Structure 1
Amino acid sequence: MSTLSIVEPSIAIRLEGVSKRFVLPNGEPFEAVRNVSLQVRSGDIYGLIGTSGAGKSTLLRLINRLEQPDSGRVFVGGSEITALGKRELRAARQTMGMVFQQFNLLQNATVFDNVAFPLRIHGKWASGEIFRRVRECLHIVGLSDKIDSHPAQLSGGQKQRVAIARALATDPQVLLCDEPTSALDSETTRSVLDTLRDINQRLGVTIVIVTHELAVVRALCRHAAVIERGEVAEELALHDPQLSPRTALGRELAQQVAQADVRDELARLEAAYA
């Protein structure tokens, strides 16, 4: 039986004092995530930023319990994920799509079969419903014409958009993205970010994205947390005029946001007087 939280409906994700420790090959303990508490509002695009090894990917995987926290509680959509049994957890994960850095597509399967995979494993979808849902998800990511292709026939950006379509297949409330653009060039990155932004705006899906690329956060996110040594060093509302970051990453990000805002304003003025 799931435990209902007392979180207000506008909160999609809440972490309370979550920690995760691993044992290194030399036997020493490593604190990957240390007593993290944060909230993500429904419909937000929230970035987790930090250097390699800061703990941001582990933190993301704790949200849908791909990693089991050693302590603390995780709530998604009003249910305490950390209190669920295996069967309930499988059902809860249908409300959380996951997009990985290296796409994780089935190489010998068509695009259709890759997107249909999560629908088939849950066993609750009739074949006609699966067909309609797959076509709908591929239309959302702009790949309707690739339905019969195999991953080897696709570009990196197309593979990632197939992965996004697969993550959307079960109609999730939350989309968790782990470095989804780090294997892509800048032009392809813009295409993937446009796809994620469109999904957020059209479908209202809450997005949490892990990245070390500040340009990705600046272009996509409304809020972000700087992760350092497994802890939340600070949280930022990116377009708050009173923004005054404390961390080096936060200050660099705020500077990029300010420069982008100035460029956008100049572009609007040029268009107005053209």
Structure 2
Amino acid sequence: MTKPILELKNVSTVVNRGTAQETTILKHINLQINQGDFITLVGTNGAGKSTLFNVISGLLPVNAGQILHNGKDITKMSEEQHTKFLSRVFQDPKMGTAPRMTVAENLLLATKRGEHRTLRPRHLKQHLNHFHELATTMNNGLETHLDTATGSLSGGQRQALSFLMAVLKRPDIILLDEHTAALDPHTSATLMQATNEHIQTDNLTALMITHQLEDALQYGNRLLVLNQGQIQADFSGPAKKALTAQQLYDYFQE
């Protein structure tokens, strides 16, 4: 039997430990993520969605339980060590890119994700054709701005760059943390379509937090509902295809 690419076993996380504000955010989470899964994640504010991502990425410690990557215990592994097999795209287009570096320079930086870096020639020119091809897949004109400082891009183009940087080395796990939420509807739809195409074409494994129920239903092969730090529902296959927006909305009314 094939091992899950990532597995959470009875994971709990406590914040503000030892103070009057001590709160258990994640409560005995059990989750198996298989190669090629595209999981959309929904839940009310405070349900624990971002905390789950912070735990998976190593940003927050686990107070109980285990996290396994390809069967190896990574529960106490640092956030930096996680970058060898995991990448994350945040809601804010300004995060994840260097504003004074050009688009091409940012992409070159992404080719070294998770590696030990030393001082050596960049050899940027030899990558430009590949970077142009990559940028073209985002369908928003990014390929015409390879020499543009990233800080001068539109929000949609900068977020598209963040996504390309995240998937460039085909990490084992990609965390999409409401990566379209700060964009207008048209730009958001364009980025979602490009996101889905990359995930499907390259058989990537991704988890995506979204407040757009339509996107949660349309994209991915699994849909998780998180409520009060626990997985309330896990839809896949025919059950996900049959799920309606109203049925999903009802989870927010309980």
TM-score, normalised to structure 2, is 0.82
Distance 1:167 1:106 in 2: 14
RMSD: 3.1
Find the counterpart in structure 1 of residue 85 from structure 2: 95
| CA-to-aligned-CA distance 1:246-265 (integer Å, 9 cap, x gap) | xxx882369xxxxxxxxxxx
User: What is the correspondence of 1:174-189 to structure 2 with a 5 Å cutoff?
Assistant: 174-189=173-188
The change in CA–CA distance for 1:179 and 1:238 in structure 2 (over 3 A counts) is: farther
Structure having the larger proportion of residues in helix = 1
Contact 2:7 2:30 in 1 (8 A): yes
* CA distance in structure 2 between the partners assigned to 1:134 and 1:127 by the alignment: 14
TM-fit CA distance, 1:15: 0.8
1:127 to 112, 122, 127: 122
Q: Give 2:160's aligned amino acid.
A: R
Alignment partner of 2:54 out of 45, 58, 61: 61
Contact (CA 8 Å) 1:134, 1:169: kept in 2 or not?
no
Q: 1:177 to 1:150 in 2, by over 3 A?
A: same
Residue equivalent to 2:107: 115
Aligned partners of 1:94 and 1:170 also within 8 Å: no
Q: Secondary structure at the match of 2:75?
A: helix
Alpha carbons of 1:92 and 1:137: their partners in 2 closer, same or farther (altered >3 Å)?
Answer: farther
| Contact 1:48-1:209 within 8 A present in 2 as well | yes
Range with bigger deviation, 60-69 or 147-156: 147-156
- How many Å apart are 1:27 and its aligned residue? 3.3
Please list the CA deviations of residues 207-244 of structure 1 after superposition, one character each: whole Å capped at 9, or x if unmatched: 10012221121121221111111111111126428968
Counting aligned pairs with the same residue, the percent is 23
Number of equivalent positions: 242
Which residue number corresponds to residue 252 of structure 1?
248
User: Displacement, 1:134?
Assistant: 4.5
Q: CA deviation at 1:79?
A: 2.8
Gaps spanning 5+ residues in structure 2: where? none
Partner of 1:8: 2
Task: Mark the CA change 1:138 to 1:63 in structure 2 (over 3 Å): closer, same or farther.
Answer: same
TM-score by length of 1: 0.76
Q: Deviation of residue 93 (structure 1)?
A: 2.0
Q: Deviations over 1:186-207 (max 9, x none)?
A: 1111111111111111111111
Query: What is the aligned partner in structure 1 of residue 158 from structure 2?
Result: 159
Q: What is the DSSP-based 3-state SS (H/G/I as helix, E as strand, rest coil) of the residue aligned with 1:82?
A: coil
Q: Which amino acid aligns with 2:55?
A: L
Q: What's 1:168 paired with?
A: 167
Q: Which has the higher contact order (CA 8 A, sep 6+)?
A: 2
Q: Give the CA deviation at 1:120.
A: 4.3
Distance 1:135 1:110, change over 3 A: same
